[in-house]
Copies of this chain bind each other. A is one copy, B any other.
Amino acid sequence: MKLLKYILPVLISSLAVGTALAADAPAPSPLEKAIGDVATMRVGIDTLWVMVAGILVFFMNTGFGCVESGLCRQKNTVNILAKNFIVFAIASLSFYVIGWGLMFGNGNALFGTSGIFGVGGDDNSPATGDAYKGAYKAIAWAGVPLWAKFFFQLVFAGTAATIVSGAVAERIKFSSFLIFSFILAAVFYPVTGHWIWGGGWLAAKGFWDFAGSTVVHSVGGWAALAGVIVLGPRLGKFGKDGRVHPIPGHSMTSVFLGVFILWVGWFGFNPGSTMAVGDGSLVAHVFVTTNMAAAMGAIGAMITAWLLLGKPDFTMIANGCLAGLVAITAPCAFVSAPASLVIGLIAGVLVVLAVIGFDKARLDDPVGALSVHLVNGIWGTLAVGLFAKNSVQPGTAGNGLFNGGGLTLLVNQFIGVVAVGAFTFIGALVVWFALKKIMGIRVTPEEETEGLDIGEHGNESYPDFLTRAPGSRHS
């Protein structure tokens, strides 16, 4: 730390005036020096914003762990927390080793082929535009150092992997989940990510997803749906008489903490996807659309639950908020503030209907991950085609259907939803089936009844408290 101050100016000035100054060039004029300082400072500010936003997205792992464990039974708490914890470590490794390069490496329309191992490609970031030379051209628009880009994209990859965790909770084998997560962050997420953010075919087609309703959330959702189908429902969830038995979660305090942490995290997820501060106006705009959609999602779900279920169920309010956040993720930088209220409100209604619908379809998703991430990931992606307004960020998505842009954008969005869904769902189905064949993906019925905490980890989550005997609460 001590000598840093002597070193930094050297680094800075060499970078800042690097292009203007050869080693033997005359000293820069005060004006040249000032221009160089300004350029360096812009890179610094943008990096600062990307790192802060990245921390917020990282923090979402905590939120997911709290929401998911809170919505499940105490006997499986350690297992869920351990999954949500280690999955980010696994994603860190796999996205470092291969995912980053597959997603952002120069390559073809389908995946990256350059510098795919160990973030090993050439890269002279923060150089942008024509000045950029290296292997990761698709993200050369962002004027921050390579490691800043990597960290920010890594926390997104981690999010996709985490989404699966909740849907398969309370019955999946820990070891199988680890392997699936590694593959998801190493291959599935990067490949469709390449199509959209890595310069692939969907980007070329005019598909727009600002911060990842599709790239992150519905990808996680499709992978989760495949898992839910292959795994089957938890014991006791669906009675032989066709009745659905609710299995309440063990801690609403955890759910509360988790949803608020996720809301906080989304202020990194969406506004941070600018990857630049600029004059602050786009960042501030995205903050407001993100916040309003979250608020209206919570209100929409509360009203829907109140009407349909008779009371303002807290888990519905919580999932309504998350639904609003997922839905605004794609359009947040393309739509106006009033539109964000509508998008969030609809998301809040959708999530309640979806939770009821998946139960009717006998697809057992303990935490509502499919209703939140898959259904509203799709809704948000399509909402771009409906509500996009060119004046919000000129020259990007253009105008959607409701702003006189016709059907083109909506159709492109629809194509993206279907293509990403088909690839991820089928791919995940294959992997889940293969894992089932090779090593099994489900714990024994005895372990499921007793709880996965002891079976998988040898831990109890709350050993000092008297709990209802496993199996006694929910028949």
Contacts and interface: CB of A to CB of B under 8 A. Distances in A.
Interface string A273-315: 1111111111111011001101110110010000001111111
Contacts of A456: 311-312
Nearest to A150: B288
Nearest to A302: B86
Interface string A69-101: 100011101100110111011101100100000
A43 interface: yes
Interface in A239-283: 248-257, 259-261, 263-264, 267, 271, 273-283
Contact of A203 (B2, B12, B30, B51): B2
9 closest cross-chain pairs (CB), A and B: A47-B280, A5-B141, A92-B295, A89-B295, A147-B284, A148-B284, A62-B260, A44-B277, A74-B464
A12 B279 contact: yes
Contacts of A144: 280, 284
A142 interface: yes
A467 B464 contact: yes
Nearest to A146: B284
A461 B253 contact: yes
A267 B109 CA distance: 35
Contact of A395 (B3, B42, B150, B337): B3
A147 B46 CA distance: 19
The oligomer's copy count stands at: 3
A446 B255 CA distance: 27
Nearest to A273: B1
29 contacts: A1-B197, A3-B395, A4-B276, A8-B274, A31-B31, A37-B38, A40-B279, A47-B280, A47-B284, A48-B49, A48-B283, A51-B271, A51-B284, A54-B287, A55-B267, A58-B264, A62-B256, A66-B256, A73-B464, A89-B294, A144-B280, A145-B284, A147-B284, A148-B287, A150-B288, A249-B463, A313-B457, A463-B473, A464-B467
B279 A44 contact: yes
